[in-house]
Structure 1
Amino acid sequence: MMKPRLTIFDEPVLYTEGLSKLLTQSKIFNTIDVCNSYEALSQQLKKEPPEFLMISSNMLMLTELYTSIESITSENKNIKIIIIGNSYDIIDIRKLFNKGIKSYLDKNSRYDEFIKSIHALLLNEIYICDHAKEKMINFMSSEQAQKNLRIKDPLTRREMEILRLICNGLSSKDICEKLFISINTVETHRKRILLKLNVKNSVGVVKYALENHIID
């Protein structure tokens, strides 16, 4: 089987040259090219697209990264893109995979993890570095906890109404005047909302409402 070619899109030159020498010693790749500008990368992709492409978050903003990946994968279906990210959020990492990347490593990933990701890609698997995987597990377990919470004990219509007013910055006194109910009733509803959402205060209520698209 022919060895794949790799293109590294990153800076500074000293770092990319060092990585290139290390990878040459590993004898995984047939050739390793380094591009330090998007123009050079575009020319390389038109002339001789590699099988593997490593893109660093140094080179592009996240939004530019999304559009570049879409454009690269639409023209080169077989290209395997590895992103070296800057501790991106799980939602951003998910989006990068949806756009077509095959491997995600963080800037704190070590060289041996980079090699592990290459071997996974050679087997047509995807790879997520340990640091991001840990974040993903935490994110999924908290997401699941939120789902369970909503299924077990949903907010009543009145509680939802009070939640929206809390999010609009109204105090208990404002709410009782607006809804024509006693301040004690408002306080009881407020306590139940905090309990059901498992939050400590109004800030937690607003955060929960935003994350679950209850308010925009």
Structure 2
Amino acid sequence: MKPISSKLDQIFSETPQPDEIHHNFFDRRNIGPAYEAGKDFFKINSKQSIGGFSCSEFSSLDDIYELIHPQDLSFVIDYAVKAVEFANTQMDNVLSCNGQLIFRIVGKDRREYTVCRKSFVSGAINNKITRNVSFYSDVTWMRASPKSWCLMGDNSQYFDLKFQEVELFKDIFSTREVEVLRLLARGFHSRDIAEALKISRHTVDTHRKNMLRKVDVANTPELLTLSRDMNLI
């Protein structure tokens, strides 16, 4: 079985329909290799190339995924499934969702290339993603690290591939505590934070103690490490 075929039902919940909300990124941003995919739907910019292959050689999302380096394939699939699932369940407006992924592909000449894939939601029904459009760039020259990713959109700061409990994290800290946390991450001391937020130093210290207690860590460095892992800062 081709690797992505069994995942399509998880990625796209519905087939694109005439009454969906649709952003036409594909035609408006037709720069370089690009494709649009959905359940039982695939469209590609056939005049471009990826890794030495003409895009006209690709007729499905499976064909695109078969280019991915074997050591990066499971990561790319995992990201795709979890990012769309997160958007469908945690974002107030899935059309705000967009992401960037860096991984390796094997070109026509059997050489490895590092590519950056930027994806945007292009279709939605009832705030569920029906299709997206992706643009490829060859970033081999940048020596970028494979398996790097970024997700943007509503509540995207709570998304992380490494932790299942990340969705619960957004309910742990209050808005003010997150503000204090992010200033701590920038190297601010309690006095500086109090001045920046126009609150007392005692209030800042109380927020700090409460955050340590809520996530059961001993000190601020541990708090910041955990928060970075959870994409809060």
Higher CA-based Rg: 1
**Alignment TM-score, normalising by the size of structure 1:** 0.33
**Greater strand share, structure number:** 2
Q: Tell me which of the two structures has the higher relative contact order, counting C-alpha pairs closer than 8 angstroms and 6 or more residues apart.
A: 2
**Alignment TM-score, normalising by the size of structure 2:** 0.31
